[in-house]
Structure 1
């Protein structure tokens, strides 16, 4: 066995160094494998979560009205609010500004529908019930129309774009933050001259229509605000003399989330002739519909 100058076993030292080198290399390889495994697992978890978030859960919940509201309106919206530091109306406005053609109402409608179907569900009348709304508005051809519940202005645009020159749509919105967004979206559609947006509770604004806003009566009323207010606001319109013989009321979401007291009233009152248009809750497969009621005087 060769010895160094101090009498130490040179072969043993080389053998020990080789073992230490092999151990270090094995440790590095093991550590690298563990990191690769960890990254692989994380990637798999992230892919699974993404599939659940963007495809599986939305596909499942769209058949159940309670799950639709729980998932889209509570969970997803709150998560997006937190992550983006913005509200749903602000995100819809941004989508319109980034994708819709200025002054083109059809482009604005298509952009909002596309956003709500692909990225974030919203309680608009939607592209399934929208054509029903269009058909009724075109049939009535109102000179003066009223909308209860503006939100982001989607249905406002659908109605206003079908009005003849000189006609007017008055839309009421309780939430001032939504009103700010709606005005911008309506302007983007080029319809600000046909729409008068009023902020405040409907129970306060409706009695002011004749004196403050020079409205004799409405030819068409679209109800799309808080569902529990459908019936009291309809009765208030009657009491204030704002419905004439032949005025058409069209109510959204009469099945989901539902307006049983309103439906019972307009379907059984001798003052109305009503019919139901079956459809689906906006951007889902849940049954919903619109109730058209003609005021008979």
Structure 2
């Protein structure tokens, strides 16, 4: 009886492990709602409980263990490996990251605004390509995420190029000119709360932070999606927009980036 019970427990445990590690992740990676629910509501909470740490903290540990200090590309690579092999996270990811890289290279900006730092992955990607004396201001609402991002940015050796601000984008956007002597931004990367894309874009317009030729690059416009922002940006005579089809970070779910040129 005890031997039968042991076999049942062992077999059940093995089945659960296979489902958790391979079967469910493979199935959900093609479905937007299931992907986000599985990774953000199930896996993250289970691992937080088991490890008594947070996903950003685990990502930071992966950077410390696998990236070379002062080498931004090795930091990006370490995070991509962590997210593909260990645990999904809401960075822009390697596939869409290449699109981001190409836009930064094309614009060659002197002043960049990033809305939504998270753990600093895209911040590092952008800052590593900026010309000498160029700067990036990045805003993060969550202080725990900001604390991790500062350490990842420091590990990448990019602290001098990056100003990380904690707080609400709605509160900070009107203060950027006065607090940091900003005139306008050459490039704005939107990757924060999706319901803030549209109001923050209008706020930047009102505050005079966009000049003719300024580029807005918005992530996750399909998944989770920003329909109000897309409707505005694609129909406003003040913008010329282009959609770059891709996939939600580290999955096969359709997502993309919207690049919009401010026409004045």
Report 1:186-265 matches (<5 A): 186-265=153-232
SS in 2 for 1:288: strand
Given candidates 33, 39, 50, the residue that maps to 1:66 is: 33
Q: Which residue of 1 aligns with 2:86?
A: 119
Q: Distance in 2 between matches of 1:43 and 1:158?
A: 44
State the partner residue of 2:124: 157
Instruction: Using the TM superposition, give the Cα deviation of residue 78 of structure 1 relative to its aligned residue in structure 2, in angstroms.
Output: 0.5
1:47 to 14, 19, 40: 14
Q: Who wins on radius of gyration, i.e. which is larger?
A: 1
Deviations 1:140-173 (A, max 9, x none): 0000000000000000011000001100000000
**Cross-structure match for 1:19:** none
Unaligned 5+ runs, structure 2: none
User: Deviation at 1:271?
Assistant: 0.4
Tell me how far apart the structure 1 counterparts of residues 100 and 229 of structure 2 sit (CA, whole Å).
Answer: 19
Query: Is 1:79 the equivalent of 2:46?
Result: yes
5 Å matches for 1:270-285? Answer: 270-285=237-252
User: Could you report, residue by residue, the CA deviation over 1:46-68 in whole angstroms, capped at 9, with x for unpaired residues?
Assistant: 11111000100000000101101
Q: Deviations over 1:150-209 (max 9, x none)?
A: 000000011000001100000000111111000000111111111000011001111111
Q: CA RMSD in A?
A: 0.8
1:31 alignment counterpart = none
Shift of 1:96: 0.8
Aligned with residue 128 of structure 1, among 83, 90, 95: 95
Distance in structure 1 (CA, Å) of the matches to 2:21 and 2:157:
33
Cα distance, 1:101 vs structure 2 = 1.0
In structure 2, distance between residues paired with 1:277 and 1:156: 20
TM-score with structure 1 setting the length? 0.88
Instruction: Report the equivalent of 2:114.
Output: 147
For 1:73 and 1:159, the matched residues in 2 are separated by 25
Write the distance in 2 (CA, Å) between the matches of 1:116 and 1:256: 18
* Structure 1 residue 249, shift from structure 2 partner: 0.4
Task: Provide structure 1 residue ranges, at least 5 long, that are not aligned to the other structure.
Answer: 1-33
Give 1:247 deviation, angstroms: 0.3
Counterpart residue number, 2:139: 172
TM-score (ref. length: structure 2): 0.98
CA–CA distance in structure 2, aligned partners of residues 238 and 54 of structure 1: 46
Residue 23 of structure 2 corresponds to which residue in structure 1? 56
Deviations 1:103-134 (CA, angstroms, capped at 9, x unpaired): 11111111111111111111110011000000
Distance in 2, matches of 1:266 and 1:51, equals 44
Comparing both chains, which one has the higher relative contact order based on Cα–Cα distances under 8 Å and sequence gaps of 6 or more?
A: 2
Kindly indicate whether residue 62 of structure 2 is the aligned counterpart of residue 95 of structure 1. yes
Candidates 167, 178, 185, aligned match of 2:152 = 185
Distance 1:38 1:104 in 2: 52
